[in-house]
Amino acid sequence: MGFCRDGDADSTEFVIYSRPDAHRLEHLRELPDKVSFHCDSDGLGQDIVVVHGRVVVDDDHPAIQDWPPYVQKYGPAIERAFGSVARFS
């Protein structure tokens, strides 16, 4: 899972992309105030970060290839795994 801040360094908003047909989006729309996700930073179950918050499913947010912060952060990894950012999007 990749995510980027939406705004400057003090922003508390994050953008997380999902497939538009993902079943999780239905749950997020139904329970927007009961959202959390976790990131296991070392792969060994240590240094886990858990974020709780409110979600907004924004169907109008730019596609991955059209949002520079995401492409700058993940573009090279996406290209290695999928051949191009457009194909991944």
pLDDT value at residue 87:
84
Please, which residues have CB within 8 angstroms of residue 36's CB and are 6 or more apart in sequence? Answer: 50, 51, 52, 53
Q: Whole-structure pTM over 0.85, yes or no? A: no
Domain ranges of the chain: 3-88
What DSSP character marks residue 49? Answer: E
pLDDT value at residue 32:
94
pLDDT value at residue 46:
79
pLDDT value at residue 55:
93
Mean pLDDT by runs of 10 across the 89 residues of the chain is: 81 85 91 87 78 91 90 91 86
CA distance 54 to 74: 24
